[in-house]
Amino acid sequence: MGRRNKNKLFEAVEVVDAGAKGKSIAKSPDGRVIFVNNAVPGDVIDVQTTKKRKSYFEGTAVNFHSYSDKRVEPVCQHFGTCGGCKWQFMDYKYQLDYKQQEVTNNLKRLGKIELPEITPILGSKEIYFYRNKMEFSFSDSRWLTLEEIQSGKDFEDKNALGFHIPGMWDKILDIKKCHLQEDPSNAIRNFVKIFATQNEIPFFNTRAQNGLLRTLMIRTSSTGEIMVLIQFFEENKTVRELLLNAVVEEFPEITSLQYVINNKGNDTIYDQEVICYKGRDHIFEEMEGLTFKINAKSFYQTNSAQAYELYKITREFAGLKGEELVYDLYTGTGTIAQFVAKNAKEVIGVEAVPEAISDAIENAKRNGITNTKFFAGDMKKVFTQNFINKHGHPDVIITDPPRDGMHKDVVAQIINILPKKIVYVSCNSATQARDLALLDEYYKVTKVQPVDMFPQTFHVENVVCLERK
């Protein structure tokens, strides 16, 4: 006997809130939460459940009785299939409201700490074409949309250059126009796809691990410079040069054209040799008179304009007078460290990625900054009492950890040395709340400022100032 389908259809359900990871929230008749992946708070929907758990359902809206006044018309033709901009159908002012709500809820419910009044979220001036880095994948068996399948047509062009379908590592949606990175990003991507298809250059097949073209990365900067990197699965000098020369001829404005030959199972380039084909092996970003060298492997905040606002808030919260020793944990390429250096006696930056530290040292030298020092290594192993004894007891710690937050040993070391002030920059307010709870016995949160770095998505940054009790 086959397994009975336990999925349910709930009719005329009102969507009441926005939840985590871009999903909206409705309630079933028995009171259980339904996480809906394609609705806006205020919609009244019929929802077909796709998963059932003890305390909640997951589902998809299959019919709309009425639409929310929070809705707007999505600008992108790929919205709903591409997972890049999950909130594009929600008015931006409501996106900001729900991001503010997420930060507040996480700090209060997860952190369970005393909070000051949380400052209203700082929205992004640009809500489209704000990213300075995009990565696209090639595929020889592109994802067909539901409309294409239902049309019954036979599609000869199976090639794709675009984004992974959410949750599917081997399915690529072909992108005609993306609204996240300003031109010539779309023009470059479309040219590469058309030229490669016309010249029968094979696109990659992830499952079979064959084909030539793997990924395309495009980086732009506020200085107007452009980096393009094409990743090939294997070396074919004739074909590689055919494509790269075509890109050079079509887009002479490209500052840096590079390539990678990567025949390993995954397409990450961080353990690969990056070869410069034309121009420089880097581009430059500029912020408040400081210049930052960006290479193919560099981490740099992907919304340059909003990163400037984030760093200004960080500097303001630090409240430096010129006599402080500052530790910048998870410093990356040292952007925050250099940004606050003119207001500090000395800044010590620590980062796990050696290449990032090399960039930080080079950038500081280029910018004429002499009061910074940078060290590479696993944070929990570098940030020790011996390190502090050698380099000095920090007055202020700035920390900007990855989404997982700070390692418990790092938090313990901060508690051990108790600097006067901590400025905690976070891209995940849930793990930030966890860390703040660990610090709560010794520190009081005095300022909270959410910052929207990624319009049309559910992601939100948050900056917190803690002062010793």
Binding residues for S-adenosyl-L-methionine: 301, 330, 351, 400
Q: Cα(297)–Cα(34) distance, rounded to whole angstroms?
A: 40
Q: What is the DSSP string of 289-356?
A: TEEEEEETT----S-HHHHHHHHHHHHHHHT--S--EEEEET-TTTHHHHHHHTTSSEEEEEES-HHH
Query: Do the Cβ atoms of 95 and 455 come closer than 8 Å?
Result: yes
- The one-character DSSP state at 111 is I
Query: Do the Cβ atoms of 189 and 135 come closer than 8 Å?
Result: no
Instruction: State the sign of the Cα–Cα–Cα–Cα dihedral 365, 369, 375, 380.
Output: negative
Cβ burial of 469 (10 Å; 0-12, 13-18, 19+) is: exposed
Q: Cα(326)–Cα(345) distance, rounded to whole angstroms?
A: 8
* Rg of the chain in Å (alpha carbons): 24
Query: Do the Cβ atoms of 331 and 340 come closer than 8 Å?
Result: no
Catalytic-residue membership of 276:
no
Q: Cα(141)–Cα(149) distance, rounded to whole angstroms?
A: 14
Q: Cα(80)–Cα(88) distance, rounded to whole angstroms?
A: 9
- The one-character DSSP state at 372 is E
Query: Do the Cβ atoms of 379 and 410 come closer than 8 Å?
Result: yes
Edge-to-edge strand order for the sheet containing 226-232? 172-174, 160-164, 133-139, 213-220, 226-232, 256-261, 275-279
Structure token digits, residue 439? 């610090």
371: amino acid identity, one letter: N
From the candidates 76, 178, 427, 465, which is the catalytic residue? Answer: 427
Query: Do the Cβ atoms of 334 and 304 come closer than 8 Å?
Result: no
- For the annotated binding site, the residues are 301, 330, 351, 400
* Residues known to be catalytic: 427
